[in-house]
Structures are given as structure tokens and as C-alpha cells.
Amino acid sequence: MNNGLSVVKEAFLAAERALIVSHVNPDGDAVGSSAALAHILRSLDKEVRICLHSGIPEFLAWMPLPAPLVQSLDALGGWTPDMVIFADCGDMRRAGSEIEDFMQGKKPGLPRSGIVTVNIDHHISNPAFADINWVEAQRSATGELVGLLAEDLGIPLSGDLGEALYLALVTDSGNFSYANTGPDSLALAGRIVAQGLDVARFTDKYENTWSLARMRLWGRLLSEVRLHEGGTVACSIAPKGYLDEAGLGKDALEGFASWLRKLRGVRVGLFVREDGPSLTKISLRSMGGVDVQAVAAQFGGGGHAAAAGAELALAPDEAAKQVLKAVARLL
Ligand SMILES: [Mn+2]
């Protein structure tokens, strides 16, 4: 059941100790929404903790968090929440196996009973897994919902809160360029800027931070892009050795998949990244209404119609072959 903003607002006002969780390998929407929710709850004088199982990636390390960050429920020590909020999690598994255990009442030391769970998200496949669910799939970012919640509570979108929300919006809308960009997301961004966000300073902090090694790695990958299906599918493969040689982590490839959409005539971009032996991450991006979420789902992943991903227990070349076949069937 989808409850909407007002039920979430009541739960926020009633809670005393809130734990915010988001998905593993968090992106700007996950981190921005989590930070923004923490700002909101701090404004309401609640105790807040944030749990991100894989921590904050280096490219988002500059984001100020108004609450302690932990990477596991055990690290909370004796602190027990009375509300757990899922931000930007298409399903409960995305928050990590430990959180899933908690949801199933199987986490030692943290009983499921007596804790209200809240699910705020914009993934179309979200099964409304919490006690209270606010899922709007047409929203560009989870941060868009969080911004509406802040406004409904009368909390100004200024300072660090505005910046966290803006990060969420620009991340999931591709700097307001994807099909999910609409009047609502642009108007919210406008209200954030009207309340003081300096767009150029934000861009300097967030975008203009590349190392020469990263730029050269992208150049190498761009020079190796291959076209398939009569030029409608672009594929790029990043063997782990490329990152190792460049002395870079996988963060350095954040955003690369979306870059493939720039090729004229391409309807689907496939980016294949080798993370380890027989462990490959695939990222799919699409244009013109091709639903790549359906392809990602075939491989146990998920996401949105125009941006989806999955992890495959295969070598990168084999993963690319299988996913390209599934994409071809879709076109
Ligand atoms: Mn999102």
C-alpha cells in the first residue's frame, strides 16, 4: 500500500530516534536523500543515525552529514531506533543483507517489533515493503520527495539541506537532462537556488574534481567503444586491470554509462565493469522509451526504465555477450 507524504510526516513527528538507511554503492541520490532526511529530522529535534553498508564513496566525501554514519547495525552500539527509514531503496535487499535480516526479525539485538519502517523511493519496481510506503515512480529522484517533505514541514531548503537535495536531483536527472526531468524537479531546484544554493560553487565541488589519470582512463574506454545492432547499441568494457593500471577505484567510472547515450543513433548504452574474478557490474542506459529495467531484471538487477543495472557472476566479456543478446531481443 502506498501511503504518501502525510502519513510519512506523521511518522516523522511521532518518532524519537530515527535510523536512515540507503542502498549499497550509494549514488548522489542515496547520499543526498539520506543527508537531507537527517537534516529534516535534526530540525525536528530527533536523534538520528545513518547506516550505509558500503560507506560514502570518495566522490561524495565532501557532503556534510548532520548525524553519525555507521556501516553496520552492530556499530550503533546500544543505540536503538524507533523508526527506520529506507531512502532510494527499490527493495529492502538493496540496503544490505543485515538490514534485510532486521526486516525479517532475524537480526540479533534489534527486534523488528516496536520499530516503524518507512520506505521513501522512486523505483517503479518497489514492492512497498515497509510499514509506511511513499513511492512515486514518476519522480526524478528520491530527493524530490524528501524536498517536498521538508517544505511540508516548513523547513527551509537552505544551506546544507538544500545542497543535499540538489545533489540528489542533479545525480538522478543527469543534470536535468533525462526524460525524468519535469516541471516539478526543475521547480524544486529553482526553490533551492532561490534559498541560497550557489550552482557554480556546487559544480566546482561535485564535478570539477577529476584527476588526469581519470580523464585518461575515460579516453581509453571511449576509444574502445563498440557499436552493435546496426549502431543502436553502444558497449564499453572496463577490465579491472585498467583501473589498477591507472591507480583508480571504481568510483572513477561513475557516470561513464550515461556518457554512451551521447552517440548519435544509440538507443541503449551498455557499460560493463569487471569488479573481481567472475564478478561483473553492468549498467544500462536507454533513450526513447526503451525499458532497460526489464533487461536488468533478467539478470537479478533493477533500476528505472532508462537507467538500470545488475551484478553478474561472469567474466566481463561473457557478461557483455549475454546482456547484448537480451538487449537485442528487446529492440
Ligand atoms: Mn534515485
pLDDT in tens, 84-113: 999 999 999 999 999 999 999 999 989 999
From the CA of 29, how far away is ligand 1's center (Å)? 5
From the CA of 245, how far away is ligand 1's center (Å)? 31
For the cut 80, the answer to whether the pLDDT of residue 1 exceeds it is no
Give the pLDDT of residue 288: 86
Cα four-point dihedral sign 173, 174, 179, 184: positive
pLDDT in tens, 196-223: 999 999 999 999 999 999 999 999 999 9
Give the pLDDT of residue 125: 87
Cα–Cα distance for residue pair 229/96, rounded to 1 Å: 36
From the CA of 230, how far away is ligand 1's center (Å)? 31
Does this model's pTM top 0.85? My answer is yes
What is the 3-state secondary structure of the chain? CCCCHHHHHHHHHHCCEEEEEECCCCCHHHHHHHHHHHHHHHHCCCEEEEECCCCCCHHHCCCCCCCCEECCHHHHCCCCCCEEEEECCCCHHHHCHHHHHHHCCCCCCCCCCCCEEEEEECCCCCCCCCCEEEECCCCCCHHHHHHHHHHHCCCCCCHHHHHHHHHHHHHHHCCCCCCCCCHHHHHHHHHHHHCCCCHHHHHHHHCCCCCHHHHHHHHHHHHCCEEEHHHCEEEEEECHHHHHHHCCCHHHHCCHHHHHHHCCCCCEEEEEEEEECCEEEEEEEECCCCCHHHHHHHCCCEECCCEEEEEECCCHHHHHHHHHHHHHHHC
Q: Which domains does the chain have, with CATH numbers?
A: 5-205 (3.90.1640.10), 212-330 (3.10.310.30)
From the CA of 16, how far away is ligand 1's center (Å)? 26
Please give the average per-residue pLDDT across 34-38, as a whole number.
Answer: 98
For the cut 80, the answer to whether the pLDDT of residue 270 exceeds it is yes
From the CA of 11, how far away is ligand 1's center (Å)? 22
Q: Closest by alpha carbon to 116, among 148, 67, 92, 81?
A: 81
From the CA of 78, how far away is ligand 1's center (Å)? 31
Residue 81 banded pLDDT, cuts 50, 70, 90: very high
The answer to whether 87 and 21 are in contact (CB under 8 A) is: yes
When mean pLDDT is compared across 15-19, 132-136, 178-182, 268-272, the lowest value belongs to 178-182
From the CA of 89, how far away is ligand 1's center (Å)? 8
Give the pLDDT of residue 229: 98
pLDDT in tens, 227-239: 999 999 999 999 9
pLDDT in tens, 152-182: 999 999 999 999 999 999 999 999 998 899 9
Please give the average per-residue pLDDT across 182-191, as a whole number.
Answer: 97
Burial (CB < 10 A; 0-12, 13-18, 19+), residue 109, is exposed
From the CA of 103, how far away is ligand 1's center (Å)? 21
From the CA of 32, how far away is ligand 1's center (Å)? 10
Cα–Cα distance for residue pair 101/84, rounded to 1 Å: 13
